[in-house]
Structure 1
């Protein structure tokens, strides 16, 4: 019976996982459980488990911002996602496991990331993005905030 449950979870996960070689993960602006980054992180996590992640990584520095803020363990998150959890089930997981915060704290954290200028980032990240933007963001498309880099590169803007 245990193998049957495992097979069903694996099949559910495969159905939910995007093939990131064909379509990008969701925008970092998209939310799950009220947190930016979470939907994108979930797409990458599913794809890594299903081995359809292409060049995308789970538990990368962007994902770490979410894990550090919510104090959710990335390995525990990944194990839960591997059960074939739906977006709604992941939302419930996050709500149960995230550090309890006032709503305004989450709003401020979201807004800080949504509207973070590259000029407000640490020097090493500014230096990295300077070259990255030239290589991967379409020419003559202005980058106003950090999340624009993802959305421009992946064709959402």
Structure 2
């Protein structure tokens, strides 16, 4: 987030691969880290379990972060990664993947997470109440894929998506 380098192309966490949100972004982050291009602010949570988006993906799929990293780095394209995930992840129907994606999409930061985000995306936090928008919206705003509403506004973020 802070320290984001627009020259490092990370896909939106909303993009999907084999029905999984977050996975294309994880692939981008792992490859960027291997090239030494992943911003420092992204490094500490990369493929770590817990409440981060990476951790939520790992928990939902049942995958181990280091195994996923090894596969990503051994594959030149996304498709073999998707095939490996399909073979090794906990089986989920398309409907289960959609429900999980909606749950992640609906997550609004609160408490310590909100304070952390306000500190790491100060340009966005100065213009909106970060508690009123989803974490995915905050990421997309911070990385320039989603317009930041006028100061104090967040009600029509959905309408402003590129």
TM-score range (shorter-chain normalised) is 0.7 to 0.9
Please, which runs of 5 or more residues in structure 2 have no aligned partner? Answer: 147-162
Aligned residue-pair number: 134
* Aligned with 1:132 (options 114, 120, 126): 120
Using structure 1 for the length normalisation, give the TM-score. Answer: 0.75
The one-character-per-residue Cα deviations of 1:38-94 (angstroms, maximum 9, x if unpaired) are: 111110011112222132322142211101110011111111112133111111111
Higher relative contact order by CA 8 Å / sep ≥ 6: 1 or 2? 1
Within 5 Å, which residues of 2 pair with 1:6-155? 22-55=7-40, 56-57=42-43, 58-60=46-48, 61-118=52-109, 121=110, 123-133=111-121, 135-137=122-124, 139-140=126-127, 144-155=133-144
Q: Which has the larger radius of gyration?
A: 1
Please, which runs of 5 or more residues in structure 1 have no aligned partner? Answer: 1-19
Q: 1:140 to 1:126 in 2, by over 3 A?
A: closer
Give structure 1 regions of 4+ aligned residues with deviation exceeding 4 angstroms. none
Using structure 2 for the length normalisation, give the TM-score. Answer: 0.73
